[in-house]
């Protein structure tokens, strides 16, 4: 979880960045500047998802449960978001460059952590 170490001291950092991603996505056509912000957030979110996916490969089922109520609480909160569009903002921002490896990591994380709503927001290939 090296990519997430700096976020563990303040559990509000990632939710705030997801709020920013949501706001930027809503304004990306009116304000071209936000596209740069989304590109930066894309790199960050991709690194985090890849780090989480890699870490999940090395731990047992019991440890996974404690992660969802600890370091990965922000993912559980995204799973529970039904009104504000943060879940879709996160997945869209994370996957907006079409990187297949990140998409596979996100799908793997969703399956391992049992996050069906986030998984549903991952776009399917047509």
The DSSP result for 68-111, as a single string, is: HTTTTHHHHHHHH--SS-HHHHHHHHHHTT--HHHHHHHHHHHH
- How far apart CA 49 and CA 100 sit, in angstroms, is 13
The model carries a pTM of 0.86
**pLDDT for 126 beyond 80:** no
d(CA 102, CA 86): 18
> 50-100 pLDDT, tens per residue?
989 998 888 888 788 788 778 888 898 899 987 778 999 999 999 988 899
Average pLDDT, the chain: 86
Residue pair 115/109 in contact (Cβ under 8 Å)? The answer is yes
Check pLDDT > 90 for residue 120. Answer: yes
- Tokens at residue 75, please? 């993912």
């Amino acid at each position: 979880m090296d990519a997430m170490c700096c976020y563990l001291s303040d559990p509000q950092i990632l939710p705030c960045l997801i709020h920013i991603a949501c706001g930027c996505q809503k304004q990306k056509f009116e304000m071209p500047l936000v596209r740069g912000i989304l590109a930066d957030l894309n790199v960050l979110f991709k690194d985090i998802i890849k780090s989480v996916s890699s870490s999940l490969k090395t731990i047992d089922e019991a440890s996974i449960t404690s992660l969802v109520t600890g370091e990965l609480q922000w993912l559980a909160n995204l799973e529970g978001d039904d009104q504000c569009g943060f879940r879709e903002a996160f997945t869209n921002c994370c996957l907006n460059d079409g990187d297949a490896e990140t998409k596979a990591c996100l799908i793997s994380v969703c399956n391992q952590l049992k996050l069906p709503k986030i998984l549903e927001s991952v776009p399917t290939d047509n």
